[in-house]
Amino acid sequence: MGIFSRLGDIVNSNINAILDRAEDPEKLIRLIIQEMEDTLVEVRSSAVKTVADKKEIERKLTDLRREAGDWERKAEFALSKDREDLAKGALVARTKLMEAAESLSAELGRLDSALAKTNEDIGALQQKLADAKAREKALIARHKTATDRLKVKTQLHDERITDAFARFEQVERNLDMLEGRSEVLEMGRKKSLAEEIAELEADAKVESELQALKARLAGKDQQQG
């Protein structure tokens, strides 16, 4: 197992605290970046399977609803021929199909929620990865400078070793800023323009289908009347 065992460990991790415990911050930050990149690959691969599962369920749901509609029409036909027994049987078959469709709808909702959470986690992880890469060179340079200065001061004045270590506080403050920027960038994430337009188009499509359904039902009522 790597530095992190779960995606949440990375997203919620305090990189500053991890580096404070490290003997070699340069090596550790490289490992952290590698772990983040590997985790992104794994999470995306898992998301691909979830999307495929969602599409399969959507197809099955469409088939079930179509079959249920067929049985409803058969029930209406049987009833028009005074075969109430056949109409009841058709309605029973329709009910079973609708129950199966309801179960699939619930599963579809669960997958939608899982994908939404995965999308949030990936966004947060990508931000932390970008921040870590942006700070990597600066951290390594500061660490080298602090180490070199420490060696020189140790050779010259032992009593000034404490002052050399104090230089690491600047690294710690910079890492605090890194963590703070990451957390702030995760707050109030807004949808992109493309996402908002896609949702608007989806709403318009649903509204159009609803109006068409109302028109069909109204026409059917007029024919029966």
pLDDT in tens, 110-143: 999 988 888 888 888 888 888 878 777 777 776 6
- Weakest mean pLDDT among 49-58, 78-87, 128-137, 187-196: 187-196
* Residue 57 in this model has a pLDDT that exceeds 90: yes
Residue 59 pLDDT? 94
pLDDT class for 1, splitting at 50, 70, 90? very low
Q: How far apart are CA 69 and CA 170, in angstroms?
A: 69
Question: How far is 132 from 125, CA to CA, in rounded Å?
Answer: 10
What is the rounded distance in angstroms from the CA atom of residue 218 to the CA atom of residue 10?
56
Highest mean pLDDT among 18-22, 100-104, 118-122: 100-104
Written as one string, the DSSP assignment of 194-213 is HHHHHHHHHHHHHHHHHHHH
- DSSP 8-class letter at 12: T
Q: How many CB atoms lie within 10 A of CB 34?
A: 12
What is d(CA 177, CA 179) in angstroms, rounded to the nearest whole number?
5
Q: So where are the chain's domains?
A: 7-135, 193-225
d(CA 176, CA 169) in angstroms, rounded, equals 10
In the prediction, which pLDDT does 160 show? 54
Q: Which residue has the tokens 């329709």?
A: 94
pLDDT at position 103: 93
- pTM score of the predicted model: 0.47
Region of residue 83 (left: phi > 0; alpha: psi -120 to 50; beta: else)? beta
| Mean pLDDT calculated for residue range 164-182 | 63
What is the model's pLDDT at position 2?
Answer: 45
pLDDT at 62 over 60: yes
